[in-house]
Homo-oligomer: A and B are copies of this chain.
Amino acid sequence: MSELYAVRRAQLRDRCAATGSTAALISRPANVRYLTGCTPPGAALLLGPGGPGGPGCDVLVCCRPLTGDPTEGRPADDVRVTVLPARDTDPVVAAAGLAAKAGAEVLAVEEHHLTVTRHRALSQVAPRMRLADLACAVEAQRLVKDDDEIACLRIAAEISDQALGELLESILVGRTERHLALELERRLVDHGADGPAFPTSVATGPNSGRAGHLPTDRRVEEGDFLTVGLGANYRGYRCEIGRTFVIGTTPADWQIELYDLVFAAQKAGREALAPGVECHEVDRVTRHILETAGHGDGLGPWTGHGVGLEIDEDPQLSPGAMGKLDACVPVTVEPGVHIPGRGGVRIDDTLVVRPEADGGPELLTITTKELLAL
Contacts and interface: CB of A to CB of B under 8 A. Distances in A.
Contact of A214 (B67, B178, B210, B301): B67
B72 A211 contact: no
A318 interface: yes
A189 interface: yes
B72 A214 contact: yes
A115 interface: yes
A246 to B, nearest CB: 22
Interface residues of A, number: 40
B178 A182 contact: no
Q: How many copies does the complex hold?
A: 2
Contact of A182 (B41, B118, B189, B299): B189
A86 B300 contact: yes
A213 B64 CA distance: 12
A111 to B, nearest CB: 4
A113 interface: yes
A69 interface: yes
Contact of A318 (B63, B87, B115): B87
Interface in A98-115: 111-115
Contacts of A189: 178-179, 182
A324 interface: no
A69 B214 contact: yes
Interface in A29-84: 41, 63-64, 67, 69-72
5 contacts: A70-B216, A87-B318, A112-B118, A116-B116, A178-B189
Interface of A: 41, 63-64, 67, 69-72, 86-87, 89, 111-120, 133, 178-179, 182, 185-186, 189, 210-214, 216, 299-301, 318-320
